Chain A
Amino acid sequence: MAVKGEIVIDRERCKGCAVCLGACPNAVIALSKNVNSKGYNYAEAVKDECIGCASCAIVCPDGVISVYRAKL
């Protein structure tokens, strides 16, 4: 049984500051090539290696990341 995580990013609120990228222990997050309505390259999960540690959410200045964790 493995602990798996998943993050849900509120793309519209994300300002693409990239602080969450360095906080992720598994380099799961990258900035999208696409932009939101404000023109920011929002953060998105690009790998399936999230462990649900919430480090990204904890450093997010705009509180745009929700974190889920489950034993699968």
Chain B
Amino acid sequence: MNTDIVKPENLVYSRTKVLTDATMHYCPGCGHGTTHRIVAEVIEELGIQDQTVGIAPVGCSVLAYNYFDVDFQEAAHGRAPALATAVKRLNPNLFVFTYQGDGDLAAIGTAETIHAANRGENITMVFVNNGIYGMTGGQMAPTTLVGMKSATTPYGRNVELNGYPLRLTEILATLPGTYFVTRQSVHTPAAVRKAKKAIKQAFENQKLKKGLSFVEIVSNCNSGWKMTPVQANKWMEENMFPNYPIGDIKVEGKLVEGIGLDRLVVSSPLTVK
């Protein structure tokens, strides 16, 4: 170690204090860890640690409350937006966010998600979409691509048997209650920077009281996809991104220019390459 460089005054990056010291239980390379970290960094940078309440889901990030050094509630599966609704309505000065996976948010919690968005709740929702149920052992999620293998689609997702993958983020963007809707990823330094900027915006928007801010993070599931982390990130770029395009969908209550019906309405199944 070069002690001329490693001095407190030269520190340019270190783990945020809004994360606890607990070692996260996530698999190596999992995007949940990165997403947790940037949410925590945003809370630190906005100076709102003492005014933030998080809502954890059921799924891989069920223990998120152990990792954020902010007050946290653990919801029943899919119900985080209902909890967040009440927390915010009863405590309008708090910054309230949900942190949910695809099964929690887009399957069992679809009703709570859509209605919280449609009521225009002034909360932030962080949605980690890795196309699979990680915690329970890699079963099909609402976002599993057609042809994608999972524990319950061992021959690949089949539309006749399993129906179509769901792009809930685009659906939410069509609702008048959403103010900011974006899809990001956290697998490269540049992507992480953009995702963090989006999350920061999503938190700052709560002060405006103009509706719900929604950040989807397209992520990996190395264990569920049965790949190394580096392979999984490559597979994600090749297969997930064409179906779940990265970028802002709705900003300041308006659909981003160029986002038209052809983007909002899925006309052909989301399929693996």
Main secondary structure of the interface of A (DSSP, over half): mixed
Contacts A62-B24, A63-B15; A19 near B230 (Cβ below 8 A)? yes
B189 adjacent to A23 (CB under 8 Å): yes
Which residue from B14, B30, B187, B189 sits with its C-beta under 8 Å from A66? B14
Main secondary structure of the interface of B (DSSP, over half): loop
**Interface size on B (CB < 8 Å)?**
37
B residues within 8 A CB of A19? 29, 187, 229-230, 233
Fill in one digit per residue for B16-28: 1 if any A CB lies within 8 Å of its CB, else 0. 1001000110111
A4 adjacent to B2 (CB under 8 Å): yes
What is the bound-complex CA distance between A61 and B12, given in angstroms? 18
What is the bound-complex CA distance between A64 and B188, given in angstroms? 16
Stretch at the interface among B3-11, B52-60, B143-151, B248-256: B3-11
Contacts A61-B26, A63-B37; A8 near B12 (Cβ below 8 A)? no
Q: Enumerate B184-213 residues with CB–CB distance to A below 8 Å.
A: 186-189, 192-193
Q: Enumerate A17-72 residues with CB–CB distance to B below 8 Å.
A: 17-19, 21-23, 40, 52, 54-55, 57-70, 72
Which residue from B11, B26, B27 sits with its C-beta under 8 Å from A67? B11
A68 adjacent to B12 (CB under 8 Å): yes
Q: Does A11 contact B (CB under 8 A)?
A: no
B residues within 8 A CB of A16? 28
Q: 4 tightest A-B contacts by CB?
A: A61-B33, A17-B29, A15-B28, A17-B28
For this complex, 15 residue pairs linking A to B, each with C-beta atoms less than 8 Å apart, are A4-B2, A6-B6, A15-B29, A17-B30, A17-B222, A18-B228, A23-B188, A23-B189, A59-B186, A60-B34, A61-B33, A62-B24, A68-B10, A68-B11, A72-B4
